[in-house]
Structure 1
Amino acid sequence: MVDVDKRRQEELLTVGEIIRIYCRGHKHLRAAGEDLCPECRAMADYALGKLAKCPRMDIKSFCSVCPIHCYGKAEGAKIREMMRYGGPRMLLHHPLMALRHMLIEWRTRHGLRKKEALAGRKAVAPHK
């Protein structure tokens, strides 16, 4: 079992980097010495706060595969927009972090499908 605190830290770093890539890529105005504009800083604080308080961190991999959606509607739409923009660009800026994220997500989705298929077989009554 992966250490929950380590997993949380890795996810915090990944989300933070994706938001930075989004902010820079959209040329948002930032204050001197700041790496994020006020809008992206607010979104980063919101997302990182949700991750810090996540009660399912020990059993889930990423928010996208979690059955509980704790983001508000507007915030969820905004973070998805940021992920769609920044996620693919992570391969250029942080290739190892991106590949690790992709591997974990693939394993999680594959494992969930496998469990669902097995559960579906057990739920079906045998023919007599």
Structure 2
Amino acid sequence: MSRIEREKKIIGVMVDIYCKKKHKHKDGLCEECQELLDYSRQRLDKCKFGEEKTYCQKCPIHCYKKSMKEKVKDVMKFSGPRLLIYRPVDFFRHLIGK
């Protein structure tokens, strides 16, 4: 699986955890979270660094709109630690970048 595909997968898992826990959405994602996920995947598709990309937080180019960047940060702060509980394999893969 490519780095971009792994990033898409992990952001999908994080948004799913966030939506279920914060918005109490049981079936799929709420409209706001689906919009955020679609936007994030779109940004990953257009990443100029491709397979050489680093974590977005460390990237010299910030391609997210400010409002979306804040939403993603909230999702990651909330869902990141919970990955260890709900998806430990994904957590460790994300941690080591594999």
- Tell me if both proteins adopt one fold, taking TM over 0.5 as the criterion: yes
What residue number does 2:71 align with? Answer: 78
Alignment identity in percent?
Answer: 34
Please point out which of 9, 25, 36 is paired with 1:43: 36
Contact 2:84–2:91 (Cα < 8 Å) also in 1: yes
Contact 2:2–2:51 (Cα < 8 Å) also in 1: no
Deviations 1:71-99 (A, max 9, x none): 01111011000000011101111111111
What residue number does 1:113 align with? Answer: none
Deviations 1:36-92 (A, max 9, x none): 000000111111110111111232222111111000111101100000001110111
What residue number does 2:49 align with? Answer: 56
Q: Higher relative contact order by CA 8 Å / sep ≥ 6: 1 or 2?
A: 2
Equivalent residue letter for 2:65: G
What residue number does 1:88 align with? Answer: 81
Cα distance in 2 for partners of 1:16, 1:38 equals 14
What residue number does 2:97 align with? Answer: 104
Contact 1:28–1:37 (Cα < 8 Å) also in 2: no
Secondary structure (helix, strand or coil) at the match of 1:58 reads: helix
TM-score (norm 1): 0.70
What residue number does 2:15 align with? Answer: 19
TM-score (norm 2): 0.90
Secondary structure (helix, strand or coil) at the match of 1:55 reads: coil
Alpha-carbon RMSD: 1.7
Contact 2:4–2:51 (Cα < 8 Å) also in 1: no
- Tell which structure's C-alpha radius of gyration is larger: 1
Any unmatched runs of 5+ in structure 2?
A: none
Any unmatched runs of 5+ in structure 1?
A: 106-128
Q: Size of the alignment, in residue pairs? A: 98
Cα distance in 1 for partners of 2:35, 2:23 equals 16
